[in-house]
Structure 1
């Protein structure tokens, strides 16, 4: 290793382009690293990360999606006060609160419900591709990558598909409130959107409280766990907002990450084309190789020692999934993209422990359908040089814009 001082700045152009050499340096030289600029402890090794996620007594999930724990400016808090509390959600709760929520959500978000979505997701993918297939060029993020997971979620929630652009916009505002790096005026606008999305789903849930439907929200309101209280409207609203936000941005990013990674590794792309049975392991490898959520956060409840490093009570800590997914002690040749790698049980792109992502089966299903279909229907697919813009979210990796082109005159094979 170079022994250079470590400069952790996920939004710098170099680290946006390729953060992995820095992660390797951290794992080797400072696996539990204190970053003064962000007042953040960064945990980069796989084993240390498992220690953190398993010890929920010491490492609380409070503020799990907040890159900064500085209080929001007062004018922003004033706007948010018109809505409901942002927490607790599944992602940032602990102990019995988390356990009860997770059991209730699990009763509504069943494997069967996800499996039943397959036909609809296939139709949606084809309908979205139909809209641009003859153009020969498209921004795949705008034309498909964010609308596909949003449609999957609105179908599960049984809310109108025409509300998708609005829901997407509000979700981005919610993330910006969590990142809190914008100016006060912008954050006030974001806060208004956060209250609006809360109201939107409170209204939807209130309507379902009187009518027993079969969609996810109705199932959630009517779910019961032994000796536990049913979910309240406010809790259900937070679950649904959490689902909409966490459930689409990650899939959006993985579609872009998947295409760029496959196109950068033509031999791996050919391997999957020759043997479609590799699609599931290809999806897992994309998630491991370019984790859409680079990390989430924990709050340290009491003075503790991790890998020989003392961490004080009250510290804000980042569990770095993306670094752990490249850990040399867990994965052979982790910097290689290998579609035959069997990492489904090992990689941490969906987290690990009691907070492992409940929506993982739905995300996997979408990625297993959409990536092969794009490659099948858009012949000689390639990136437009210089026309990709990376996302600038501190703890995520993906594209805001990704221009692709393909040959239009080639015969199109329909099944």
Structure 2
């Protein structure tokens, strides 16, 4: 079973949820020699690890799956790429210090004000393909929209779209995949350009503050005993500019696909839009764009009836937890009225709950509302989906829709 739980194997890439189902039935924990990780499959075990900052560290969250070679390191050095721990890979008390300042800048009021810009951007992109018979949904809407939403928040011009989107895709390949030497070097160049852009953005706002998130982030340190350093500010931008759109692109693609796969659901949503928020939660549960996450055991600790040794790397199968039959009744079914749909672990749990969760939910709701309003009965033609091999992420590269 540990061999089948291989994110780079054909069976897993084809349908990880079938593999997860067999794994949950077989055992709660495995050790993978190939990955060098302990793998957890059950909801309660995974939630326990995520919330427990005493026995488990988040410092493995951003660790490259395979070490960078010398050419990659030299390429990254050109951009002064020296990451520091700020959010997802930071433990208390350091995480608390950074998160408190980020929360002051990325607050509920700022997100609430984003609904109209998100709706306007969504309508603008839909207008471009509304008259077509078919559309490739990822490139037409899911790929650009989440980044452009962030640009609105961050005071960035749309011209940065290619650098940010391509650099983020290169980060996925370089840090969560198994690229060969040539592909790794190509990805390093894209990642370096992306990181340099984040540094340029912070340098500019330090000199020329505005009414945007980077400027608010800098201002959030005023009066603090330990304001964020310039390198930490750059790292926060690098983290949020990546996480704030890469995963939402996957979420929007999964959302539209799963709704179209459910007989009659599209028409139900046209007739009753109040179902849409919970449908968004159900698809976040069923098709997590971040399908796995990582932790490290600080010392010997028992989880799932197994003693995981100190310093061991742990792979948390979030996608498996979200399909756990012991927590979600009829777990593989999309149920628009499911009462505990929001209890999924797609956004994490506890202290490291995803900062961008409210914005991702907003984008999913608005995009689905606009699509069901505009198109009466779209459908999915027969097609094979392709996924980038990654230990953490799972999103279709393309999705064709007949309008």
TM-score range, shorter chain: over 0.9
Unaligned regions of 5+ residues in structure 2, if any? Answer: none
1:42 aligns with 2:39: yes
Normalising to structure 1: TM-score of the pair?
Answer: 0.92
- 1:286 aligned onto 2:286: no
CA distance in 1, matches of 2:98, 2:41: 29
212-221 vs 295-304, greater mean Cα deviation: 295-304
**Counterpart in 1 of 2:160?**
163
- Alpha-carbon distance, 1:227 to partner: 5.2
Q: Distance in 1 between matches of 2:70 and 2:348?
A: 33
Q: Does 1:200 align with 2:194?
A: no
Kept in 2, the 8 Å contact 1:387–1:403? The answer is no
Match of 1:262 in 2: 259
> Partners of 1:5 and 1:298 in 2: how far apart?
18
Whether the aligned pair in 2 keeps the contact of 1:84 and 1:234 (CA below 8 Å) is: no
Task: Provide the rounded CA distance (Å) in 1 between the counterparts of 2:55 and 2:357.
Answer: 26
What is the distance in 1 between the residues matched to 2:217 and 2:161? 21
Partner of residue 76, structure 2: 80
Per-residue deviation at 1:6?
5.8
Return the offset for 1:160: 0.3
Aligned residues of 2:267 and 2:376 also touching (Cα < 8 A): no
- Structure 1 unaligned residues grouped into runs of 5+: 407-415
**Preserved CA contact (<8 Å) 1:35 1:42:** yes
Partners of 2:2 and 2:32 within 8 A in 1: no
Out of 244, 248, 253, the position equivalent to 2:241 is 244
Where does residue 350 of structure 1 map in the other structure? 347
Q: Deviations over 1:307-364 (max 9, x none)?
A: 2212112211111111111111211111111111123541111111111100000000
Provide the secondary structure at the position in 2 that maps to 1:385. coil
Deviation at 1:302, TM superposition (A): 1.3
Q: Which residue does 1:411 correspond to in 2?
A: none
Give the RMSD, CA atoms, in angstroms.
1.8
Of 8, 11, 28, the residue aligned with 1:31 is: 28
Distance (Å, rounded) in 1 between the aligned partners of 2:161 and 2:365: 22
Asked whether the equivalents of residues 58 and 300 of structure 1 are also in contact (C-alpha less than 8 Å), the reply is: yes
Q: 1:372, CA displacement in angstroms?
A: 2.5
Counterpart position of 1:125? 122
Work out whether 1:332 is the aligned partner of 2:295: no
Kindly indicate whether residue 67 of structure 2 is the aligned counterpart of residue 71 of structure 1. Answer: yes
In the TM superposition, what whole-angstrom CA distance separates every residue of 1:164-218 from its partner, at most 9, and x where no partner exists? 1221011111122212411122212222222222221212111111233110000
CA drift of 1:67 comes to 6.2
Determine whether 1:140 maps to 2:137. yes
Which residue of structure 1 lines up, in the alignment, with residue 101 of structure 2? 104
- TM-score, length basis structure 2: 0.95
CA contact (8 A) 1:104 1:225 kept: no
Partners of 2:154 and 2:214 within 8 A in 1: yes
Cα offsets for 1:126-176 (capped at 9, x unmatched): 100111111211110011101110110111111101211221011111122
Give the superposition deviation at 1:284: 0.3
Native 8 Å contact 2:84 2:231 kept in 1: no
